[in-house]
Amino acid sequence: MTTQLFDLTGKVALVTGASRGIGEEIAKLLAEQGAHVIVSSRKLEGCLAITDEILSTGGSAEAFACNVGNMEDISALFEHVKSKHQTLDILINNAATNPYFGHILDTDIAAYNKTVDVNIRGYFFMSIEAGKLMRKNGGGAIVNTASVNGVHPGPGQAIYSITKAAVINMTKAFAKECAQFGIRCNALLPGLTKTKFAGALFTNEDIYKSVVQGIPMGRHAEPKEMAGTVLYLVSDASSYTNGECIVVDGGLTL
């Protein structure tokens, strides 16, 4: 007996931060399940590379560059979505930044502003624009990539951790207010995952060892291991899942 619970055929999905890492794997998996994926990130070249990979395996995708920390970029992206597709079924807020690694007392205003602009303001207004389209068209699914750091602040990652805590609460706020429109909003909270974004944790051997020692599974995750949870959250398999923040960390936060 087969199931169609994870079938996304006919769905339009927008994935930010999709040129590498977790976002890349999410974009590829959603395309494998039949969605047309708008691959978005700051640099068009990276988006095109992932789009080409999806197309080469028979999937449907397009590239559109957007810096979610820039309100004009967000407006341009959604003008494109509205003019070309008239709808949006799935939004994955995955783009994020973490420009500062160090003691909280040494955080400067530039690092603070950049982190807040991308990780909070960007997610918020991307969700608003997507939510307006979803409300108009009868519903949709939003998934925010937060972090276990939003629950337990990471060493040397104070402002990043603070913004991810905000994303967790933002997820619940959108879930509560938008469910009446058929819009579900949930979050993925990855643990230690080997990406370029998390490079500082992997290059610092002491920090890496201390984190891995606290993971019951005894290893870090690969980006591909995060994508399945997102597929669940945007598919019919999770039709009654709303406002949940799912931790995928190998047991780190147990």
Residues 222, 225, 226, 231, CA torsion sign: positive
Residue 100 annotated to the active site: no
3 state DSSP class of 241: coil
Separation CA 243–CA 93 (nearest Å): 15
Provide long-range contacts, Cβ within 8 A and 24+ apart, for 208-212: 211/252
Nearest CA to 252 out of 223, 218, 204, 206 is that of 218
Strand (E) positions, 146-216? 183-190
Phi, then psi, of 143 in degrees rounded to 5: -125, 125
Q: Given 112, 160, 232, 240, which residue is catalytic?
A: 160
Cβ neighbors of 169 (< 8 A, separation 6 or more) are none
3 state DSSP class of 189: strand
11 in Cβ contact with 34 (< 8 Å) = yes
Active-site residue list: 160
